Structure 1
Amino acid sequence: ATKIPFRLNENQALLTFEDEEVAQRLTRMSRHCVNLDNRTANVTVKPFELDVGFLFELHITISGKKIRVSEIPELPIPKNWMRDKLELNFYKTEQAPGGGEIQDVTYTPGSGTAVITFLKPGASNKFVGHAKYPFYVEGTWFNLSVSPHFNFHLGKFQPYCRVSRKTILLKGIPEVEEDEESVQDMIEIHFQKPSNGGGEIEKIKYISRGTAYVCFEE
């Protein structure tokens, strides 16, 4: 089970019921009059939001204009020279057909990788099935690794809150003279009574001063 921390502020309480229908019913009632010894307190019941996350759709497409090249050898030549040699090599070679006119070469020295962007859409399809591609530089033949370039797009991005089905959050509990444990007992008695819409309580935590972090397992 995943332990989820929750910050409980002063004059708040968390109640977890055995039956989730009890928690749902109390939440729908929203406001409750709780007898705290010599006074009646109007408290508010809120849904207990466990955490906040995000929902989204991830769309992945294979670029028709770009390829990713790796295993480029580290040679003692300037960066722009290597970039030019990559452009000439992938434009056309004697050993294998190239992709045609090249729009851009993004070469990263030290990583041994580059992204080749061709001018015409669909040019990268010529390299499908070619895991290795010959590369002639500085009098030596090398085999470069060629792979598709993927485009990633996030769609329908929206936040969401996961709400507990069995736990409620009480807010607006007034300060009283009784100690924290006594007030917690009075809250528990009120919300256990079926006449108040309550039911059997598994756990309860009340904070009268400061804050506390409570861990719940979901």
Structure 2
Amino acid sequence: MSTEDFSPVNWESLGIVTLEDIQKELNKCKNQYESLEKDKKMFKDAIESNQNYAKQFQERTEEKKLSFDADKRKIAEKIQKEEEQQKSIQKEQERLRADILRIKEELDHLEKKNEHLRKQTEVSTAVPEKKVVFKGKTEQGAHALSFDVSPRIVYPMEGGTTLITFEEVGVAQKILSMKEHSVQLGECVINVQVKPVRFLVPSYIEMDTQVCPRRILVSSLPSKLPEDKLLDKLEIHFSKTRNGGGEVEEIDMLHDSGTVVVTFVDDSIAKGLTDQQDHKVDIVKNQKHKVKVTPFLNGEISQLHTRHSVCLRTVQLTDIPPIMEQDNLQDHLEIHFQKAANGGGEVESIIYNPMGHTTLAVFVEDSLEDSQSI
């Protein structure tokens, strides 16, 4: 408290002039002071009480916070467990959906297979007849269930090359071992290279077949009738509804098998014709010929394994310049490779393709085992 607080009081200005008045004023101030002290103590007690309440509130807040954090952790753990369970359930649902999808695909595959087998049973006895004869050979095991396909390979020849097939395998191999040959052509000599003929051929084939609803295969046809006339007669016969036919879209001859494929516009015609199988067709006037009608199968290769094959009796000559006419040059080459002095032997077939020309050589099944000819 500064000294200014105790400055002399001008009692006269306050209307106090006697000692008794001063004493009364002092008592009054004393009472005010005591009242202020009481208020001060009351406020102090109130502050302490509030501080106690605040402390208790803080403690209770801390307890609640700890309890809340514990509850929060428990809830988080519970949520995590539920999320893990939900993920596990989702994985199980996905696995079940995958199993259902797989089973559906298997069922679809089985249904398609059953449908395919059902169609195959319709064709089991309805195949074109082929004349066969027993040659005295027998097979055992899996070979008894197989069938042979005669190879027919179309081989592109480059210009300036020659293919020679010898009658004996040993001659061809001897020619190959020499690799290069000098050939006398009149007054000049040319050097030609000798290479083996290699193919990539099928070793194992699997095919999926299905009956074509718009085509039929006609067999047992007469052999002496011209092709165009035969096709006309067949088209007329199978286009008539009284013969069980319908509008013909296309008719083709399969020369390799001697059969005819008839394609109809409507896909409901072929089934009725193949059910009957035997049909009598007016081929010559007032003379009917019995033909056989079987389903036409569409085939698709499902598995194909190939292997490398070498022609044992055929060799290829390269680097042949066009120094004379094609026939003369081919004759000179044949004469040269027929001579034993040149390492050659009897020539079964030969073809020369001049420079700048392209041709296709056709290889068919050889009568000798494990070899082919042109």
Q: TM-score normalized by structure 1?
A: 0.50
Would you tell me which structure has more helix in proportion to its own residues?
Answer: 2
Would you tell me which structure has more strand in proportion to its own residues?
Answer: 1
Q: TM-score normalized by structure 2?
A: 0.30
Larger radius of gyration: 2
